[in-house]
Amino acid sequence: MTESIPGYDYGSERAAHSPVTLTELRHLEQTVGWTEDDARRLRSAARTLVPQAERMVDEWRAAIGRQPHLAAWFLKPDGAPDEAYKAAIKRRFVQWVSDLCLRPHDQDWLNYQEEIGLRHTPAKKNQTDGGETPPLVPLRYTIAFASVVITSLQKFLPDDDELESIEAAWTRAVLLSVALWSRPHTSAGLW
């Protein structure tokens, strides 16, 4: 159950309150092309994707691990990977696959996107798990890594008529999320 994932504060008062309004969220959804059909497609794809979520995260983690300039954000001051930190984050990352497919885009969802954004910045990185890793995941890498998260999806879905439309929905959902996560990285008024 999600309540038992340490540091997973979705829908709780511990999560940040997003300064983004629901109207701004709807505008961003329109901009990325998100529709109710996308929401329906991801809800239905969740049946296939959620049971594979851990494998998906393992694949993304492996891609990070192969690139020292990305793995750097998971290292302790002595230069060794912080395995406890990585394991704690992984459970919430696996949960994110389910949330991306199933959660409605309401205030709680918006708030948790702000929280995830903050957890990639000095405001909250390391705080949840008591890590001593570098204090920032630079925004450019989160944006660029979206490409990996988007293009790897097809490996986890059957090659049928639905594939293309699910991939399009997933792409829009990931880009919408990253757009919201970018907010805490920007100066006031520039987001």
**Phi, psi (deg, nearest 5) at residue 81:** -60, 140
Is 8 one of the binding residues for ligand HEM (CB under 6 A)?
yes
- Return the amino acid letter for 76: K
Separation CA 10–CA 108 (nearest Å)? 7
| Terminal-residue alpha carbon distance, the chain | 35
Closest separation in Å from C-beta 189 to ligand HEM? 25
Return the structure tokens found at 170.
């997933």
Is 182 one of the binding residues for ligand HEM (CB under 6 A)?
no
Q: Taking contact as CB under 6 A, which single stretch among the options 20-28, 102-110, 114-122, 163-171 is the one that binds ligand HEM?
A: 114-122
Considering the complex, state which of residue 119 and residue 189 has its C-beta at the smaller distance from ligand HEM.
119
Strand, helix or coil for residue 81: strand
Closest separation in Å from C-beta 165 to ligand HEM? 21
Per-residue mark of binding to ligand HEM, 38-77 (x: CB under 6 A): --------------------------x-----x--xx---
Is 142 one of the binding residues for ligand HEM (CB under 6 A)?
yes
* Residues 6+ positions from 66 with CB-CB distance below 8 Å: none
Return the structure tokens found at 140.
């450019």
Is 185 one of the binding residues for ligand HEM (CB under 6 A)?
no
Cα atoms in the Cβ-side hemisphere of radius 13 Å centred on 62: 7
Is 183 one of the binding residues for ligand HEM (CB under 6 A)?
no
Choose, by CB under 6 A, the member of 20, 42, 53, 149 that binds ligand HEM.
149
Residue given tokens 């959660």 in the structure block = 103
Q: What residue ranges bind ligand HEM (CB under 6 A)? A: 7-8, 64, 70, 73-74, 89, 92-93, 96, 116, 119-120, 125-126, 128, 131, 137, 141-142, 145-146, 149, 178
